[in-house]
Structure 1
């Protein structure tokens, strides 16, 4: 059985890994590692990487269900107060807003619920444009529809940019002010409903309006908007087939504040675990690194949508944590947004088959058919995998270096501003238990908290009261473990 030592190389609160520890102390740690025949995990706070902008997910469908659910306050408590998300993603549903379907008002109810529990300054809002007015669609209601052309045979880019501005301002007037705006969600999708627009790149997609030109028109249209959100894109469906590279290289990156992608395809399929993408974040490492190289240090990178596409299983707590960890470590992401914090299900059968929603919300109008006759919702395993990050890693924290040679364990660590707190998240995505014997000696007085999700025992978010990371804790198979280290005040 493999064992791990987690070695901290600095005193928290003092910059630089060499301060607070002598060379002899470091050698002693290496000797004890050899003595116990263990694997060593090293924390390297002097290796500072990207700052975190937010971690959370989307509330982009079934808004009426959530607002009219008899237990909506419990549901909002769970996703805002319990998860403590620091970024929310909503849809631009202006085109289906009406007196009969006041969806903007429903979205405002959800935003207000988040604000009361979190404080508006403690989370950011990203809005993605989905539906487009039929007046700007070349074939409304027809799959693969793109932007309409004017009488001169030219795509109506400027009119599209004006539509983006007008709908944004409508949201702002309704009291919803996005911090980020995606001009078009998944422009490379097939648009099966014909209610949005497909956008392409370069000569290869000459039959479609060009994403880069639409972005330029949107950028110009938003120049004088009060509280202008940061533009985020291209928000493509996946990173396989060079999709992100092709879109990104064909646009003017100076017009984007944030580079964004989704993760529904990509990775080395031969490395997929049981032929399942969502169980195989390790297969995406190479493409994550390529994406980081393409964007470089010019702007933040955000992963703004991902989900399982399979029925919910206990192991999804590990799968979501694995994707979050790898997005931060290899794509240098500054934010990770799960597809759905909430999702509606009209029947028990649909809920069994569906994999959307950290919380599966049952129809508020069919309480007699609820799985739990009191609740009307089910908290799923992904909720807890996400919670390891949302609860303990906040905007402004910085990812720091780690080093571990152990296979099938991913480790990511973040340090708080002021350098007096570190969160270390260990994802054991193997079918073998691992051991972490002790943390390396650190100067100063510290408190530690160990929290663990053991999917095989369905122990979802357990504080290990007697666990001492300076002594020994185990990493069960298919588990997520978080170690919080805090420096005590003198």
Structure 2
């Protein structure tokens, strides 16, 4: 689904000061990686800056003793369209080079968290409407053979580049025979099919595990308040809670399956859906948390849900770029403010864009957005790849923030120097800083009693990384 209105970035999240956090260590210098609003420098390594005792203007304090959520990573979606293009429109050397730039952290940006539609979505090659068992009215014909043709090979090739890669799966629709309108488009889940609905996802998880691809997280339903003329289904909060507590949760447990179950998986502007499901104690016992999209509302909604249920996690799982917004600098700023910085400062453990790859015609599409943009664009005639603004926005985080990193405290000056910081498992520190203003900003980064000055061009973003 495309973004038509861009919400304003929000939000300072609440901190948790953990006792016994490792003491900060003195650093001697920091790496500097820069992307400018005009695209003249694209995640480009700059000269290192030395720590000393400098101070100039705004001070950005980084404090590794104040910690927040643990990060799963950053990425996009292995839509059917994306994997079909990768497998069928690139030769092996083109594919290997692109996957290296996407998933290898040393020679690329190290994407580590990816989303996978369960069955067809609005981005399915050859307009193929399908689920994994379209034969009524049992699961005797269940099969993931469709995915074995190109989706599973692409995922395995990506995982070979990054062994820590995690998959978040999300269904656009169950089989039509489970639904009130007997269609893959719209409708809702029949109340007498709740049990077989749960069985369907048990079989899915088992089938992917048998391929050596265990599913890390499972959403109950993608965009449950969006019915469309493509794969979709409406699911009320009460029905979602019932399915979780009485069917899906118990059946997963009985089969020894432990994906992180995620509620909602839709826009910020209806965050009360997530809290309603989490307020049901029977459902909450099986839920890891909730997930959000960018197409309505404000990123601060994530913090509202976190504050209501601080013992459950938050993920940001979908936002698409497109031809409605083509200015590189404007897109860079928006994505950093709202998703990379805004999303994580509002408790997201992961930040995901929509299609990993689309072609030069914004497809293949299957009834949905006709002008969306992938993280990369694959020419469907030559197999050549263009790396879009979303690639660089993701890279400023994914290349430097390793899965298992903890978000830590950093000063955030809205409209001037906007930041988020992380401490990696090896104790290295990554600080992402955006200058959203129309003029250069000089500021001081201070950590463990030492500091350095840096001047960031208008509209530019930089990632600093130093040894903790």
| TMscore range, shorter length | 0.7 to 0.9
User: Over residues 116-169 of structure 1, what are the superposed CA-to-partner deviations in whole Å (9 max), with x where a residue is unaligned?
Assistant: 2112xx221111122311110111337530112xxxxx4421121112212322
Question: Relative to structure 1, is the Cα distance of residues 344 and 219 closer, same or farther in structure 2, using a 3 angstrom cutoff?
Answer: farther
d(CA) in 2 for partners of 1:54, 1:227 = 22
d(CA) in 2 for partners of 1:345, 1:393 = 31
d(CA) in 1 for partners of 2:413, 2:205 = 48
1:425 equivalent in structure 2: 432
The TM-score normalised by the length of structure 2 is 0.75
1:372 equivalent in structure 2: none
How much has 1:405 moved relative to structure 2?
4.1
Question: Relative to structure 1, is the Cα distance of residues 435 and 356 closer, same or farther in structure 2, using a 3 angstrom cutoff?
Answer: same
For residue 61 of structure 2, give the secondary structure of its aligned residue in structure 1.
Answer: strand
Does structure 1 residue 478 correspond to structure 2 residue 455? no
1:201 equivalent in structure 2: 237
How much has 1:327 moved relative to structure 2?
1.4
Which structure 2 segments of 5+ residues have no match? Answer: 1-19, 28-50, 121-129, 134-142
How much has 1:320 moved relative to structure 2?
2.0
2:242 equivalent in structure 1: 213
User: Over residues 428-467 of structure 1, what are the superposed CA-to-partner deviations in whole Å (9 max), with x where a residue is unaligned?
Assistant: 2222221125646757xxxxxxxxxxxxxxxxxxxxxxxx
d(CA) in 1 for partners of 2:79, 2:243 = 23
Q: Which has the higher contact order (CA 8 A, sep 6+)?
A: 2
1:73 equivalent in structure 2: 96
Report which stretch shifted further, 244-253 or 47-56: 244-253
1:114 equivalent in structure 2: 158
d(CA) in 1 for partners of 2:234, 2:437 = 39
User: Over residues 75-109 of structure 1, what are the superposed CA-to-partner deviations in whole Å (9 max), with x where a residue is unaligned?
Assistant: 22221121211111111128446999833331211
1:273 equivalent in structure 2: none
1:256 equivalent in structure 2: 287
RMSD of Structure 2 on Structure 1 (CA): 3.3
2:40 equivalent in structure 1: none
d(CA) in 2 for partners of 1:230, 1:344 = 32
TM alignment of 1:81-230, pairs within 5 A: 81=104, 82-93=108-119, 95-96=130-131, 102-119=146-163, 122-141=164-183, 143-148=185-190, 154-193=191-230, 195-202=231-238, 210-216=239-245, 217-230=247-260
How much has 1:60 moved relative to structure 2?
1.5
How much has 1:174 moved relative to structure 2?
3.7
TM alignment of 1:201-350, pairs within 5 A: 201-202=237-238, 210-216=239-245, 217-240=247-270, 242-249=272-279, 252-267=283-298, 284-285=299-300, 287-296=301-310, 298-309=311-322, 310-315=324-329, 316-322=331-337, 323-329=339-345, 331-346=346-361
For residue 425 of structure 1, give the secondary structure of its aligned residue in structure 2.
Answer: strand
Look at both structures and tell me which one has the larger radius of gyration over its CA atoms.
1
d(CA) in 1 for partners of 2:79, 2:400 = 24
Contact 1:259–1:295 (8 Å) recurs in 2: no
Which structure 1 segments of 5+ residues have no match? Answer: 1-12, 22-28, 149-153, 203-209, 268-283, 368-374, 444-468
Equivalences, count: 392
Contact 1:179–1:229 (8 Å) recurs in 2: yes
User: Over residues 255-298 of structure 1, what are the superposed CA-to-partner deviations in whole Å (9 max), with x where a residue is unaligned?
Assistant: 2023222221102xxxxxxxxxxxxxxxx33x3331221221x1
How much has 1:171 moved relative to structure 2?
2.6
Question: Relative to structure 1, is the Cα distance of residues 340 and 229 closer, same or farther in structure 2, using a 3 angstrom cutoff?
Answer: same
User: Over residues 343-400 of structure 1, what are the superposed CA-to-partner deviations in whole Å (9 max), with x where a residue is unaligned?
Assistant: 234479x9xx83421101222xx34xxxxxxx53211111111101000001111111
2:12 equivalent in structure 1: none
For residue 464 of structure 2, give the secondary structure of its aligned residue in structure 1.
Answer: strand
Contact 1:201–1:250 (8 Å) recurs in 2: no
d(CA) in 2 for partners of 1:100, 1:44 = 47
How much has 1:406 moved relative to structure 2?
5.7
Question: Relative to structure 1, is the Cα distance of residues 473 and 242 closer, same or farther in structure 2, using a 3 angstrom cutoff?
Answer: same
d(CA) in 1 for partners of 2:326, 2:351 = 20
How much has 1:245 moved relative to structure 2?
3.5
d(CA) in 2 for partners of 1:339, 1:113 = 20
For residue 392 of structure 1, give the secondary structure of its aligned residue in structure 2.
Answer: coil
Report which stretch shifted further, 53-62 or 230-239: 230-239
Question: Relative to structure 1, is the Cα distance of residues 424 and 226 closer, same or farther in structure 2, using a 3 angstrom cutoff?
Answer: same
d(CA) in 2 for partners of 1:482, 1:304 = 23
The TM-score normalised by the length of structure 1 is 0.72
d(CA) in 1 for partners of 2:433, 2:206 = 43
Does structure 1 residue 359 correspond to structure 2 residue 366? no
